[in-house]
Amino acid sequence: MRGVRLTAGLVALGLGLAACGSDTAAPGGGPGTPAASSIKLGLAYDIGGRGDQSFNDSAARGLDKAEAEFGIDIKELEAAAGETDAQKEDRLRQLAEGGYNTIIAVGFAYAPALKKAAADYPDVKFALIDSEDAQGPNIANLVFAEQEGSFLVGVAAALKSQTGNVGFVGGVNTPLIQKFEVGYTAGVKAVKPDATVQVKYLTQPPDFTGFNDPAKGETAAKGMFDAGADVVYAAAGGSGNGVFKAAKANGRLGIGVDSDQYNLPALADVRDVIITSMVKEVDVAVYDFVTSVKNDKFTAGSHVYDLKAGGIGYATSGGKIDDIQGKIDEYKAKIVAGEIKVPAQK
């Protein structure tokens, strides 16, 4: 009996060592391996992870596209709610130590962790999505002009509102989400200067549950509807589901965020209230980054995905804004041409 266990243990150990061996050998590239496979891509998700129907899924789409096209080795790691910067740093180091030479950190929460980790692995190329707080010779900051997209959905909200009263539900009161709010408000005021914009953030940092609590989203949106709003923009991750539920129950309208939420299966039963979504092409950014590394064209520093670059946009699925699309596109053209400068901060 003991002998059997010992043998099993040794076999397991041997397998483990073999696995380690093959891992460390891979970056060198065996004979006949195409150049592309010299990229080993690690991706660390934000809270929510793959399958969040929103921000992380968008990153995952870019990853899948890169994988399908280049056939590269990929490792994905998930974040947990309420974790510390040290845990995030460990995750990045784990990837770097595992031989992953191209690492993408999804979400601004990774900034402090990435700053520390990137300094210790100068040969590894990092991408940080949504933040410019960590800079370095091996860090590419993939940021979006969310305020521009939010401006356009603000225009849509103002045009669709009959009461002249619209709402904004933010998940967590962070500088990133404030960009959404500021752009949205500017868009609403551009069409109707005297319109009321109700603003509510579900939680205050460091409490990040506001991105993940549909019950709170529903209560906040219901409050806005009771106070006269008829269109509410949900920049609140998973809590947005509650906003749409409240909109449906009260016969009002909602605006989605990050991906084209009208087409998400999880929101199929409330989608008829989603008139448009502010779309953030995280997948494009991820794919571009991987391509640049693959072609040895990596450049550190900020890469801004704005309306002009096609990294930001608004969705038209469902045909709810077909009648006003012309007007929205007028504003879009003005922003692209630089005639309208959308503020990013209060």
Partner 1 sequence: MSGGVTLEQKAVSAKRGKRLSPMVYLLIAVGALAVLSLVRVLSGATDLTSSGTVQAALIAAVPIAMAALAGLWAERAGVINIGLEGMMVLGTFGAGYAGYQWGPWAGVAFGLVLGVVGGLLHAVATVTFGVDHIISGVAINLLAPGAALFLSKLYFADAPGGGQKQSPRIADAEKITIPGASDLLGTVEAKRWFFVSDLAGVLRGLTTEVSLLTVLAVALLVLTAWVLWRTPFGLRLRSCGEAPTAAESLGVNVYRYKYLAVVASGAFAGLGGAFLAVSSGQFRDGQTGGRGFIGLAAMIFGNWRPGGLATGATLFGYTDAMALRGSGAVHALLLLLGIALLVVAVIQYRAGHHVLSGVAAAIGVLFAWWYFTSDEVPPELVGAAPYVVTLLVLGLASQRLRVPRAIGVPYQRGQGV
Given 12, 13, 25, 227, the residue binding partner 1 (CB under 8 A): 227
Please state the closest distance from residue 274 (CB atom) to partner 1, in A: 14
Alpha carbons 199 and 177: distance in angstroms, whole number: 12
Query: Residues near 170 by Cβ (< 8 Å), separated by ≥ 6?
Result: 177, 178, 180, 181, 199, 200, 201, 202, 210, 235, 236
Check residue 242 for interaction with partner 1 (CB under 8 A): yes
Given 62, 183, 214, 254, the residue binding partner 1 (CB under 8 A): 214
Show the binding pattern over residues 14-33: x = contacts partner 1 (CB under 8 A), - = does not.
Answer: --------------------
Check residue 58 for interaction with partner 1 (CB under 8 A): no
Please state the closest distance from residue 2 (CB atom) to partner 1, in A: 30
Residues in region 144-173 near partner 1 by CB under 8 A? 173
DSSP strands (E only) in the chain:
40-44, 73-77, 102-105, 125-129, 139-144, 165-172, 196-203, 231-235, 253-258, 274-280, 301-305, 312-314
Sign of CA dihedral 271, 51, 55, 214: positive
Alpha carbons 37 and 157: distance in angstroms, whole number: 46
Given 49, 107, 183, 311, the residue binding partner 1 (CB under 8 A): 49
At what angle are helices 282-294 and 55-70 packed, to 10 degrees? 30
Check residue 48 for interaction with partner 1 (CB under 8 A): yes
Nearer to partner 1, 86 or 215 (CB): 215
Size of the site for partner 1 (CB under 8 A): 44
Stretch that binds partner 1, among 64-72, 133-141, 186-194, 198-206 (CB under 8 A): 198-206
Neighbour-count burial of 256, counting CB atoms closer than 10 A to its CB (0-12 exposed, 13-18 middle, 19+ buried): buried
Check residue 87 for interaction with partner 1 (CB under 8 A): no
Residues in region 288-317 near partner 1 by CB under 8 A? none
Please state the closest distance from residue 293 (CB atom) to partner 1, in A: 27
Q: What 3-state class would DSSP assign to 281?
A: coil
Check residue 203 for interaction with partner 1 (CB under 8 A): yes
Alpha carbons 248 and 234: distance in angstroms, whole number: 14
Check residue 247 for interaction with partner 1 (CB under 8 A): no
Opening angle at CA 54, ends 72 and 229, nearest 5 = 165
Check residue 220 for interaction with partner 1 (CB under 8 A): yes
Given 10, 12, 20, 215, the residue binding partner 1 (CB under 8 A): 215
Q: What 3-state class would DSSP assign to 196?
A: strand
Binding site for partner 1 (CB under 8 A): 47-53, 57, 78, 81-82, 173, 198, 200-204, 207, 209, 212-216, 218-220, 222-224, 226-227, 238, 241-242, 245, 249, 264-269
